[in-house]
Amino acid sequence: MGRNWAKNLRDCPEVKTVGWMDIRPGAPQAAIEELRLSDVPGFDDLQKAIAESRPDFVVDVTAPEAHYSVTLAALAAGIPVLGEKPMADSMERAREMVAASQKAGQLYMVSQSRRYHAGAIALADLVRRHLGPLGILNSDFYLGAHFDGFRHEMKNVLLLDMAIHTFDSARHISGADPVSVYCEEFNPSWSWHKGADSAVALFEMTGGLRYTYRGSWCAEGLSTSWESQWRAHGPGGAAVWDGESAPVAGVVCGKEGLIRESEKITAKLPEKYFGGIAGSLREFLEALSTGRKPQGECHDNIKSLAMAFAAVESAQTGRRVPVRGI
């Protein structure tokens, strides 16, 4: 993902990369060479990298357990941070990171790249304009993923590494925040992951919305999109999104009969836009120059992280548990 970010930064005219740091010796040099970023110095020590390259901001694309130390070091040096999800590997650490951002008076934004997918933006817009406050929201995520790296060993790999995206999207689409969750985590008999790679969860959200999540990272064949498949219901009707094409709404227009008539509305997707991490980079830069609070700002993003950790706690205790952010 560090390489993806390096390309994203290279392709943004407002940004110049002034250093690449990784604790694995030789890793920055190998990536710099591969991506032909010959004028970018490589470092294996963060303090040295900050002191010598004096960046205006740090992009933290390290493994989840390193987000805490990297982000705290940058914030302590008075440097804003755009970090990868999940914010941290525990709620305690995440709360410390939010407090550090506050203390330093510097922006810490978590890049939730799926918020910048044109279909997700269009679905959130359909909900707001036609459906009204949602009462029902469902998402399905079924993909078989054979990873190298930290995910192979990671506990709760689906909930903490992937479902965090989908949970955050549920907040984006509905505009609601989490209240409580009941969740079961499991590994199907053929699973190849050490940590739990499948889960079902039922969230109560503000306004009484019930959001159901079903997902698996060892479900091969007939995959869903990485964005998940969605169904939303509100007083104005329903909307569905397959995670790829334009979302569709059925807006109730009939006033009588057993089944009321509804009008089909297909969302229009923009032809040109900055999607994924290019979108989060643009929003971060805009926030730095205007002071406007971006999506993913740590005080808000911690609510999505809290959904993932509360789901893990529910799966471990077998109980419905409250979801608390800060």
Interacting residue ranges for ligand NAD, rule: CB under 6 A: 1-2, 21-24, 27, 61-64, 66, 69-70, 84-85, 113, 149-150, 161
CA distance 272 to 4: 20
Q: How many CB atoms lie within 10 A of CB 45?
A: 11
Take residue 17 and report the two structure tokens written for it: 């990369």
CA distance 324 to 326: 6
Strands 81-84 and 198-205 come out as: unpaired
Q: Minimum Å distance from CB 53 to ligand NAD? A: 14
Q: Minimum Å distance from CB 29 to ligand NAD? A: 12
Q: Which is nearer to ligand NAD, 150 or 192 (CB)?
A: 150
Fill in the DSSP letter of residue 284.
H
Q: How many CB atoms lie within 10 A of CB 56?
A: 11
Q: Minimum Å distance from CB 297 to ligand NAD? A: 17
Q: Minimum Å distance from CB 226 to ligand NAD? A: 8
Q: Which is nearer to ligand NAD, 21 or 311 (CB)?
A: 21
C-beta of residue 134 within 8 angstroms of C-beta of residue 238 = no
Contacts of 111 (CB under 8 A, 6+ apart): 82, 83, 84, 85, 277, 280, 281, 284, 296
C-beta of residue 126 within 8 angstroms of C-beta of residue 251 = no
C-beta of residue 195 within 8 angstroms of C-beta of residue 217 = no
Q: Which is nearer to ligand NAD, 61 or 173 (CB)?
A: 61
C-beta of residue 254 within 8 angstroms of C-beta of residue 262 = yes
Q: Minimum Å distance from CB 114 to ligand NAD? A: 7
Please report the DSSP string for 31-96 in residue order.
HHHHTT-TTSPEES-HHHHHHHH--S-EEE-S-GGGHHHHHHHHHHTT--EEEESSS-SSHHHHHH
Helix (H) or strand (E) holding 149: none
Q: Which is nearer to ligand NAD, 84 or 185 (CB)?
A: 84
Q: Which is nearer to ligand NAD, 69 or 223 (CB)?
A: 69
Q: Minimum Å distance from CB 85 to ligand NAD? A: 6
Q: Minimum Å distance from CB 58 to ligand NAD? A: 11
Q: Which is nearer to ligand NAD, 154 or 183 (CB)?
A: 154
Specify burial of residue 242 (Cβ count, 10 A radius: 0-12, 13-18, 19+).
middle
Tell me the three state secondary structure of residue 278.
helix
Q: Which is nearer to ligand NAD, 70 or 137 (CB)?
A: 70
Q: Using alpha carbons, select from 135, 132, 149, 184 the residue that is nearest to residue 163.
A: 184
Q: Which is nearer to ligand NAD, 117 or 130 (CB)?
A: 117
Q: Minimum Å distance from CB 60 to ligand NAD? A: 8
Q: Which is nearer to ligand NAD, 65 or 263 (CB)?
A: 65
Q: Minimum Å distance from CB 230 to ligand NAD? A: 18
